[in-house]
Structure 1
Amino acid sequence: MTFTLTARALLLDMDGTLVDSTPVVNRIWADWARAHGLDVDAVLDAAHGRQGHSVMAEFLPDRPRSENVRQDAEMLAREVAETDGIVEIPGAAVFLASLTDVPHALVTSANVPLASGRMAAAGLTVPAVAVTSEDVTESKPAPEGFLSAASILDVDPADCIVFEDSRAGVTAARAAGMRVIGVGSASSAFGPNHVVADLTGVIVTRDDDGTVTVRL
């Protein structure tokens, strides 16, 4: 079945949406979980789409925030260095190329070095507007990043469509009052408005009046 949605801007997550970094993320967070005697599967389920220090605070609630931030910085440095196995989500390059005249922004829990490194490793270009971890005080599932991107693009949140894959990301987008297209079959469990297997076949056009049409 084909769905057609209209909006004024598109907001795009990175990991799991544009870039498949799952092997790297799983490897690093599994190491962290085992080092702290935690259930690996539980940590991996919570880690995707969020800033590291917020995940640490959830599993080690008695540890000082300063220690979480310090260790998060160490893990981010490792994530930046480890790019083996990172590839684009199928269709991502063509999808991004179709957005040349469409207001859009990247909204990611990664910092600038990590976002730049992963996008480059996947052969993708970072959009001109990007909201990263340096730009927010609250990580997804808080809506701050998406609301900030909408403000930068001067578009009402209700007129934005978000492409997301993770529980935290879908929750954040819905909290921002935005419609969500889940990327990947697993995203269907998190309550997006629609789901696509990947970005192959997603068609985006923009009319002269600024209306953005997304066909799934």
Structure 2
Amino acid sequence: MPGTSPGLRLTARALLLDMDGTLVDSDAVVERVWSEWAVRHGLDPRDVLPVVHGRQGWATMAELLPDRPLAEHHADNRALLAEEAADTVGVVPIPGAARFLDAVRHVPHALVTSADTALAGARMAAAGLRVPELRITAESVGLSKPDPEGFLKAAAALGVAPADCLVFEDSAAGVEAGRAAGMRVVGVGPRAGAFAPTAHVATLEAVRVRVLADGVVRLCLTPAGE
């Protein structure tokens, strides 16, 4: 896989950060809420859980219930988002997330998440993490990952070319969205390695950040499994 040599170094002018699975471990809540949703709709949670990560809920619903009107998916998703925001039991930071966010505080960066503003705020607060000033949430886009809209909007808002951005993601939809935006992608966590990101780390503990004099960010990565 490209980018898996020890001590891999990447440079960028902006960092675009997914939330769930990348900064915040919310798998316990996601599995709880979506398992209950699956049962309510006569679906097997074992078939639902593998496809819920990374995308907006309505997009997942449209795949699982293709004959249901889109308006119903959106209404159902609004209810599910509120349910998820109210349930933060088991939400914890990904190891190294707080240190990483502190290291990039003065670097152009953005949160690019499929969560809405309320859910993003609830989960980042539950994990005790700083919320980046620039946030591209579900309300900011018309399309869900794997569409690149969110990442492209973040790059434009930061005034940085897509090729100079580095995405941090954990899901298939997120990695695909980053690549579609013309960006390099660092996969974070156990799911990400299967989706051929540019580089793959086990957690953010494996990332070291250095800001150079010209504003370029240099990242030293210890690849997963090493």
Q: Same fold (TM over 0.5)?
A: yes
- Render the CA deviation track for 1:59-86: whole Å, top value 9, x for unaligned: 1111111111111111111100000110
Query: Which SS does the other structure have where 2:110 is aligned?
Result: strand
For the residues of structure 2 that align with 1:56 and 1:2, how far apart are their CA atoms?
40
Query: Which SS does the other structure have where 2:145 is aligned?
Result: coil
2:155 paired residue number? 150
Unpaired segments of 5 or more residues in structure 1? none
**Superposition deviation, residue 12 in structure 1:** 0.3
TM-score normalised to the size of structure 2?
A: 0.94
Aligned-CA RMSD value: 0.8
Pick from 168, 176, 181 the counterpart of residue 171 of structure 1.
176
Number of matched pairs: 216
For the residues of structure 2 that align with 1:146 and 1:165, how far apart are their CA atoms?
14
Pick from 95, 101, 107 the counterpart of residue 100 of structure 2.
95
Query: Which SS does the other structure have where 1:185 is aligned?
Result: coil
- Render the CA deviation track for 1:40-70: whole Å, top value 9, x for unaligned: 2221111111111111111111111111111
Pick from 37, 40, 44 the counterpart of residue 45 of structure 2.
40
1:15 paired residue number? 20
2:218 paired residue number? 213
Pick from 14, 27, 30 the counterpart of residue 25 of structure 1.
30
Q: Do the aligned partners of 1:185 and 1:195 also contact (CA within 8 Å) in 2?
A: no
Pick from 66, 79, 98 the counterpart of residue 84 of structure 2.
79
Moved more, 136-145 or 27-36: 27-36
Moved more, 195-204 or 108-117: 195-204
**Superposition deviation, residue 199 in structure 1:** 0.5
- Render the CA deviation track for 1:107-160: whole Å, top value 9, x for unaligned: 000000000000000000110011000000000010000000000001000111
Identity of aligned residues (%): 59
Does residue 108 of structure 1 match 2:110? Answer: no
**Superposition deviation, residue 186 in structure 1:** 2.2
**Superposition deviation, residue 185 in structure 1:** 2.6
Query: Which SS does the other structure have where 1:110 is aligned?
Result: coil
Q: Do the aligned partners of 1:33 and 1:40 also contact (CA within 8 Å) in 2?
A: yes
TM-score normalised to the size of structure 1?
A: 0.98
Query: Which SS does the other structure have where 2:191 is aligned?
Result: helix
For the residues of structure 2 that align with 1:16 and 1:205, how far apart are their CA atoms?
23
Unpaired segments of 5 or more residues in structure 2? 1-5, 222-226
For the residues of structure 1 that align with 2:64 and 2:173, how far apart are their CA atoms?
16
Query: Which SS does the other structure have where 1:205 is aligned?
Result: strand
